[in-house]
Amino acid sequence: MARSEHPDLIPEMISPHVLRHSKAMHLLQAGVNLIYIRDLLGHVSVQTTEVYARADSKAKREALEKAYADIGLTTPTAQTSWERDPKLKAFLKSLG
């Protein structure tokens, strides 16, 4: 019924797995702990649920941007080279 009223919102191929995966991703993006998502999905191991954490590229990008900001560097761009960034080079040298 929803597809007949709003065909652009409801994909042609939708399965229980798609709904389950979508809900898990929404919970993860809302900051819900993986342990709770594991319990909701009924996974025995949190390692099975970690697939959702690996799939979230938006969260990965935000984590990298935050890491740059935390050490006082600007967000990298395609035109920026680490070799021309004296702050980054100094930081990397300080790790050794």
pLDDT in tens, 40-82: 999 999 888 888 777 777 777 777 788 777 777 766 555 556 6
Q: Residue 74: what pLDDT?
A: 67
Q: Report pTM.
A: 0.50
Q: Residue 12: what pLDDT?
A: 79
Mean pLDDT of the chain: 80
Q: Residue 36: what pLDDT?
A: 93
Q: Looking at per-residue confidence, does 80 or 18 come out higher?
A: 18
Cα–Cα distance for residue pair 52/31, rounded to 1 Å: 12
